[in-house]
Amino acid sequence: MPSFQSLPGFREFYPDALARRNHLFRVWRQTARAFGFQEYDAPVLEPLDLYRAKSGDEIETQLFSFIDKGGREVALRPEMTPTVCRLVGEKASTLKRPIKWFSIAEFFRYERMQKGRGRCFHQFNADLFGESGPEAETELIALLIQCLRAFGLTEQDFFVRLSDRNLWFYYLEALGLDKLRAQAVLGAVDKFEKLGDDAFKTYAGQFGPLDASLKDKVLAFLEIKSLAALEATLTALGGEKLAARLADWKKLLGHLTAMGLADYVQVDLGVVRGLAYYTGFVFEAFDRKGELRAIAGGGRYDDLVEKLGGPALPAVGFAIGDMTFALLLEQRGLTPALVSAPEVYCVIGGEAERRAAFSDIHTLRAAGFAVDYPLKELAFGKQFKAAAESGARLALIYGGDELAKGVVKIRDLTARTEHEVPRADILAAVRDTLTGERT
């Protein structure tokens, strides 16, 4: 046993694990670019106050925070939202709208480890600033869905639950509840799925038992699973705010349907997301089997940029965590068998042949091909075995017979065929075989 262990909850990525992680990041990055999002990055270490300002003092117990040598209170970032709000807020007047940004970054939270949760993890974050209409949600929800679909996940595997905090407040207001009571009811709604009726205990403690008919109406609202049902309920109540909100819902779902994504989106007002800073649509992605914690979550936070010292700027964003997502891919057998294999493996006779081979090896490597060879002289049989195990597509055979003829034998390790090419043509020959197969 080594004397030094990694810290609890921290992960080490051996090459095969890193290859899988890189694959996730590569696909996310490519997808975000396809949606016109630009990548940014920012410091891992931030002033502690940035998180206090957003989430309150109690957040500190869940942070990796300390005092640096300059006496500053600092914390490893537990999320990207405050940081990106600051970045955008500082340059808001000069950035072209809409501002569509994404990042792939590592985060740290001082928490107890659990399935799908550790003390360090990565998130894909995407945010859209400067658009207050549901067009912003359309882009983000579509991006979220595509970020999962790109791995082969389908509507059989996951879905996005869509809810709306504004709608809840307008609804509860229409039912005659004031703001404080409405917030308490929303807190109960947030916990209702897990606790059932007990979720309303906190409300009862604060304001007395919730009127039975009101509670029925709240629970009925939770039952709504379609736009049609939502429309029926809202039109019955009437009122301008609800009508305007309904129009937003229609637009958002209409656009997502036009994109062919309707089957991925479920109207579900049970999603509230406890965070106080969400101001409109909120959404979370779950696996259909319901075995895992949320895969992704996000929503609109129109007040946060201003709260963190920037100008008033509407915003919508979401994040996908890598741990639960990797579990889902694994469960569905969609983790690609990625090996960091060379493209070409050289089989080399002896020291004399090695000199000739080295010249070609370097030429091929300089041209960008992944080329490997045995560091020390080995029997041919072992070299062919090593070539096969390396995962290379091609073996180049530098034997005395070939070099005497001025050729190199190219063996296709998959097809188990081989042919000779003049040494001078080796780069072109390799390129011809491998081009089009590389990603």
Residues interacting with RNA, by CB under 7 A?
1, 5, 8-9, 51, 55, 59, 62-63, 78-79, 81, 109, 111-115, 117-118, 194, 273-275, 293-294, 297, 319, 349, 379-382, 384-385, 388-389, 395, 397, 399-402, 409, 411-414, 416, 418
279, 303 in Cβ contact below 8 A?
A: yes
Q: Closest approach of Cβ 299 to RNA, in Å?
A: 9
Contacts of residue 146, Cβ cutoff 8 Å, sequence gap at least 6: 31, 34, 35
Q: Closest approach of Cβ 362 to RNA, in Å?
A: 21
384, 395 in Cβ contact below 8 A?
A: yes
Q: Closest approach of Cβ 196 to RNA, in Å?
A: 12
Distances (CA, A) of 129 to 36, 125, 137: 13, 13, 11
Q: Closest approach of Cβ 136 to RNA, in Å?
A: 18
Distances (CA, A) of 407 to 143, 347, 421, 422: 51, 14, 5, 4
C-beta closer to RNA: residue 187 or 254: 187
Compute the CA torsion angle 165, 167, 173, 174 (nearest 10 deg).
-160
C-beta closer to RNA: residue 63 or 145: 63
C-beta closer to RNA: residue 113 or 312: 113
C-beta closer to RNA: residue 103 or 227: 103
C-beta closer to RNA: residue 54 or 100: 54
Kind and range of the H or E run holding 285: strand 281-287
What is the distance between the alpha carbons of residues 120 and 123, in angstroms, rounded to a whole number? Answer: 10
Strand partners of residue 126: 102, 318
What is the distance between the alpha carbons of residues 43 and 47, in angstroms, rounded to a whole number? Answer: 10
- The 3-state DSSP class for residue 281 equals strand
Q: Closest approach of Cβ 126 to RNA, in Å?
A: 13
C-beta closer to RNA: residue 128 or 227: 128
Q: Closest approach of Cβ 388 to RNA, in Å?
A: 3
Q: Closest approach of Cβ 86 to RNA, in Å?
A: 14
